[in-house]
Chain A
């Protein structure tokens, strides 16, 4: 009796099962799905964020946050994944915060310019905790945390392209998000060792990465143009020899 419903549940797409990233599209008409954190969890986590610059992405920050929110040391049991909950919460809040960058979003600029500005805004979201960010990267690289980290990175690239007004529905949808993810991850790592004032070096690094992608994109375009031209020319040569193609 229960068997068919179990099978149906198995067949349903993964996104429909949990409430983690419950929706794979953006909507103006429906309220956002509930996030991965409950109200109690969010209360403790948001109280923990101010402790990160001094105590890092650690259980200590989580404990201090719990105390600030009226909880006790034992309440950190609410987070089975431990300090990674702090990293996840930071990633989530920073991503959702991008939609509030009105001055970037409402500017009269092209999609490409907006993508660059939003990426920079997101990097600046790490400014307060950048000296602790290597701890977060270490946590994100732990095998059990990798899926969540990659999902967050993908969701963030998608968010940036979506907010910038990208409406592509071809293979470029994937290449755009993949290349932005690569650029972002590389620049974020660069930023952890940047000591220049106002992160000028990071800014230049980011600009160079975007130029690289444009250059590679240009090369790919030229190569495909050349391949197309050579193919059709070859075809015409064959036709001139009387081959029926």
Chain B
């Protein structure tokens, strides 16, 4: 709490940018966006959109707007913002899960579901690990994203990999809070990397993850989190509120979307709180429940769906 007080001036400094950002955001307006005002009058429930408070019904459309804008420059921007470290995080995330591993050889294969995995960068890594490390070419993945433009970006990229038009990949446009086309108890591994932050109702999404996972199945989440060292946190806050929106403006020509990005990171529950949300949904967490990456800038959270007595 002491650290949060210390950084209030910083957050305040970011506010004026936010005012202008609201004006800018109008150009993200799509047909979905146009409907939203009428929806918001019907719904009293509100949620966070960065530092703004918006109606729940509106958030989905606005997040959609953000990601439609950034889809094409997604990887370039990630490289600039994280200085290339996001690739190491994603590699470590996949290695730590060890997908496709099995006690029998050849492996019967895992059924995986990558939520908010539009551009496929986690999914291709998961499949690579299954095939090359664990000799499990039977493993399949469903890449799901709420945003069709992120998904089509992923499809385009898949053509450059060995998984071009592969039956191992299944593309699905769906809301993670409601995966009705996926059967209960059918998934070995549910991953969500840098996605759950943008969900309107995170609890509902966690319950849905619990439903689709097999007993013993793994929920694995890679997400921004809280930096534990106050000194490093000061530097990191400077970088994220000062540099990232600027890089967004220069590289992607879109300051508003990246302003939203850093605000949503700030708003996302920190390690302990998110761990407790995972437990709340019924999962058993390994060890303390998370693993910090780069001093807590990001964290890997895992949960295992408990199985009844055999």
Interface of A toward B, CB cutoff 8 Å: 1-3, 6, 38, 40-41, 55, 59-60, 63-64, 66-80
Contacts and interface: CB of A to CB of B under 8 A. Distances in A.
B231 interface: no
Contacts of B101: 59, 63, 73, 76
A74 B286 contact: no
A35 to B, nearest CB: 13
Interface of A is mostly: helix
Contact of B189 (A2, A40, A41, A74): A74
Given A40-B284, A73-B102, A73-B110, A66 B2 contact: no
Contacts of B307: 69-71, 75
Contacts, number: 77
B304 A77 contact: yes
Interface of B: 1-2, 96-99, 101-103, 107, 110, 188-189, 214-218, 220, 284, 286-287, 291, 302, 304, 306-310
Given A2-B1, A80-B291, A75 B304 contact: yes
The 10 closest A-B pairs by CB, nearest first: A70-B310, A71-B216, A63-B103, A75-B216, A2-B1, A72-B216, A70-B307, A74-B188, A77-B218, A3-B2
A155 to B, nearest CB: 20
B97 A77 contact: yes
A101 B247 CA distance: 68
A1 to B, nearest CB: 6
A72 B218 CA distance: 10
B295 to A, nearest CB: 17
Contacts of A80: 96, 286-287, 291
A74 B291 CA distance: 18
Contact of B218 (A6, A64, A68, A75): A75
A74 B305 CA distance: 10
Contacts of B102: 63, 73
A66 B102 CA distance: 11
